[in-house]
Chain A
């Protein structure tokens, strides 16, 4: 499987040889995004026409860093000193330190708002090509700021925004009508897929959803299982 390219990098980053890459809930979604979906590249970091990927769920960025290294955005050597005094890589990513990182995140519930502003800013400049992807966690949706953003994006028909929620069932309170309902009730389209199935993730991320923002709920193993 393609993620094999990332495995040694993850091990190098975490020093953890016990756990399979599946211990990283976001790994497969990130790989599909960077390998097959996003129009980004290390030599076009400031290209206004690039796609934007915003990691809202800044926690546990090991898979993110490993994918960025695999795709040549950052040197592999950076993986050896995670969160060290001189390291650009910390336990939450910093856009001013890491090439290719679009937003600094960590505090939950900031990515969607920044994504909406990004979409509006691109549109205002006539940049209609770039798509904007935001990755969130299921528990992150507890934060009210997300719901401000979800409601506004739906009401404003911001169709070039795609939210990916990696659902490892870590929220204490489940959504009574399913996680996707948090989006669809506000006029988004939504799909729920197996967060380990690359073909399903790819289809959901690239399917047409004209006139509506789109949410992809990628279900993975329950956190801690």
Chain B
């Protein structure tokens, strides 16, 4: 997904004079071509995430369309007040694109994890959130986000589904309970519900959320992040600092999000 983001950003810089990339070192190397080809619209501000968002806000105030990018924990958690004030409160929009979803950076430890990013954005008005499950979806979502001035968060993950889907796709029709899988949770959900009668629906756009009451929502970030938006059950990342490394797979298991745990949890609800 990260590569799809980089390729699409480079193309958007070529195609759209409003497009601007603002980085804080992260991905500056793979996006190096942008600095060479478009020095007026591609900036690396150094390891300065507050500034990255402030600059994005200023750019938007002049009518540009900034794409700001870093690890979720630096982009969202660290720069939260800049997102609140330098974008939202100014009436300015931007496209924020993160890597390092939840425990993708498991070997780096908790300092590089942000399972709370979507919950943080939920405290602010007007953010649309995309959680793509496949690189092809990244291309579509990023291109769509360039076409307006809204506040968009695109949450990339190293975990991806075997194929792309459109938002709202009924992936596995059934007469049982509806399970809504968000982004990369789809494949684990499909494996978990194999042979069981669940109605599996996919979304890569959890904000604004369109989940029917009574469903089970399986989301790849903090469990209950979406609970305030309707009457449904939630499965997600536990609110705990494990102080552990290991692989993303290990963390999925520890958080009960591997297919086997998911199956048990879906049946228990």
A: which residues have CB within 8 A of B? 48, 95-96, 102-104, 107, 109-110, 112-125, 127, 144-145, 148-149, 151-152, 155
Q: Which of A109, A120, A121, A145 contacts B63 (CB 8 A)?
A: A121
Q: Which residues of A contact B58 (CB under 8 A)?
A: 113-121
**Structural contact, B90 and A125, CB atoms closer than 8 A:** no
Cβ–Cβ contact A118 & B62, under 8 A: yes
Chain B residues near A149 (CB-CB < 8 A)? 51, 54
Shortest distance between the CB of B183 and any CB in chain A (Å): 30
| CB-defined contacts of A114 to chain B, threshold 8 Å | 54-55, 57-58, 61, 86, 90
In Å, the complex CA distance between A123 and B58 comes to 12
- Known contacts A104-B89, A113-B86, A117-B55; can you find 4 more A-B pairs with CB under 8 A? A114-B86, A117-B59, A121-B61, A148-B46
Q: B: which residues have CB within 8 A of A?
A: 17, 20, 22, 40-41, 43, 45-46, 48, 50-51, 53-64, 66, 81-82, 85-86, 89-91
Nearest opposing residue in chain B for A119, CB measure: B58
Distance from A154 Cβ to chain B, minimum over Cβ atoms (Å)? 11
> With A114-B86, A117-B54 in contact, is A95–B91 under 8 Å at CB?
yes
In contact, B85 and A110 (Cβ under 8 angstroms): yes
Closest beta carbon of chain A to B139's beta carbon, Å? 24
Q: Give the complex CA separation of A155 and B59 in angstroms.
A: 19
Q: Which residues of B contact A104 (CB under 8 A)?
A: 85, 89-90
Decide: A122 near B89, CB < 8 A? Known: A113-B55, A113-B57, A152-B46.
no
Closest to A111 in B: B54
Taking the nearest CB of chain B, how far is it from the CB of A123, in angstroms? 6
A151 to B85, CA, bound (A): 21
Task: Determine the chain A residues whose CB is within 8 A of the CB of B82 once the complex forms.
Answer: 110, 113, 145
A95 to B17 alpha-carbon distance, docked (Å): 26
Report which residue of A95, A113, A125, A127 has the largest number of chain B beta carbons within 10 angstroms of its beta carbon: A113
Complex: chain A residue closest to B41, CB-CB: A124
Contact A123 B86 (CB under 8 A): no
Q: Is the CB of A124 within 8 A of B61?
A: no
13 sampled A-B residue pairs with Cβ under 8 A: A95-B91, A104-B85, A104-B89, A107-B85, A113-B82, A114-B55, A118-B62, A124-B17, A125-B17, A125-B64, A127-B62, A145-B51, A152-B48
